[in-house]
Amino acid sequence: MRAAVTVSALALAALASGPAMAHASSMSLAVHVSAASPAAPVAAGSASAATAKGDPTPTPTPTPTPSSTSSAPATGDSDPLTGGTVVDTVAYGRHTLQRMDVWYQPDELKRPGVFLIHGGWWSSGDKKQMSEIARSYAELGYTVFNLNYRLSGNAAWPAPRADTFDAIATARKHAALWSFDPNNYVVVGFSAGGHLATAVGTYGERRLPGLRGVVGVSPVISPITAYNDGADTTDGYRLKLRESTIRLAGGCEPVECPKVWNSMEVPLHASRGDAPTLTLHSEEEFVPVQHSLRLQERLKRFGVPMTVLTQPGADHSSPMYRQPGVAETVQEWIATRLR
């Protein structure tokens, strides 16, 4: 029997075993903490220019500049999108995975933005998995940025977080190309992508101007919780998630590289001025709602509102998002955050 790892110097054990806050079911509101408007964000440079205290040395990334690699009326589709939406695939870095699909209207308007981050254990997956979701937000009138990022087999943490920052920085710097309001956007992540979304939303030293909210769908917010949950289980998904967190950390376990695990642990980075957050979990999925409740408890200390919702069943990530009423709930929340 393998014992759960505790790293007292990082307070990781407290996060992994702390009391869970009460939560609601059937897509009902968990605990919504009202807060005053957060402090004004400070400008961010390139993702490789700054790191949080305790971060590992980041994998260098180039200064992001857009490079359109393709343009089509609708990626992989024969029917045109409503309203003349264009889809461009844009490079925001030199690696082949540093690409994003931009869904936009070629007009003079400044539209609010939605950034989408796919899941896949941090080691697999592709932005094409998000194409239908990207389409749905484009049809609602948003400019949509559907991201790929370096996977754990290509570059360990914090590379995928750095890529998310660089993609957003590229979109903001060249907003006029895509009818995008750089001061009015949200980030939506699924599973491992939800980890990246909440990580950028709580990264105070690199606070993102214009970020109005973060959504996590089945987000793996606490890698140490995932690591511990996979220590004594026969659940294949929890076992795989444990191994995926180790791979994300560059192959080392918490006792071997505590600074890396500290950096990956989203609740430890909660601070005043973080982005308002919405997360959703199925009641019986392998990424339990406790991930979100730990972050909610930490954000509450700083007056940052976070809503945690649960849905009956065991569906995870995109399948849960496709359950009746879930997408609509997310869209309504986003609409309240964007101006």
Taking the CB of residue 289, how many other CB atoms lie within 10 A of it? Answer: 25
Q: What is the pLDDT of residues 89-105, one digit of tens each?
A: 999 999 999 999 999 99
Q: What is the pLDDT of residues 8-41, one digit of tens each?
A: 334 444 444 443 333 443 344 333 233 333 333 3
185 pLDDT tier (thresholds 50, 70, 90): very high
Flag whether the pTM goes above 0.75: yes
Summarize the confidence of residues 255-269 as an average pLDDT: 98
CB 283 within 8 A of CB 232: no
Q: What is the pLDDT of residues 127-161, one digit of tens each?
A: 999 999 999 999 999 999 999 999 999 999 999 99
CA angle centred on 126, ends 47 and 289, rounded to 5°: 80
Summarize the confidence of residues 245-252 as an average pLDDT: 98
SS3 145: strand
Q: Dihedral through CA 292, CA 185, CA 92, CA 206, nearest 10?
A: -60
Query: Beta 277-282 vs 306-311: how paired, if at all?
Result: parallel
Supply the angle between the helices 159-173 and 192-201 in degrees, to the nearest 10: 60
Instruction: Please name the residues in contact with 78: beta carbons below 8 A apart, sequence gap of 6 or more.
Output: none
How do the domains of the chain map onto residue ranges?
Answer: 86-336
**What distance in Å separates the CA atoms of residue 13 and residue 265, rounded to the nearest whole number?**
11
Q: Tell me the residue type at 98.
A: Q
pLDDT at 224 over 90: yes
Instruction: Say if residue 323 is exposed, middle or buried (CB neighbours under 10 Å; 0-12, 13-18, 19+).
Output: middle
Give pLDDT, residue 55.
Answer: 65
Q: What is the largest CA-CA distance in the chain?
A: 62
Cis peptide before 73 (omega within 30 of 0): no
CATH code matching the domain that covers 86-336, chosen among 1.10.260.40, 3.40.50.300, 3.40.50.1820, 3.40.50.1110: 3.40.50.1820
Q: What are the contacts of 149-152 at 24+ separation with CB within 8 A? A: 149/97, 149/98, 149/117, 149/196, 150/59, 150/95, 150/97, 150/98, 151/97, 151/120, 151/122, 151/123, 151/124, 151/125, 152/121, 152/122, 152/123, 152/244, 152/247, 152/248
Q: What is the pLDDT of residues 294-320, one digit of tens each?
A: 999 999 999 999 999 999 999 999 999
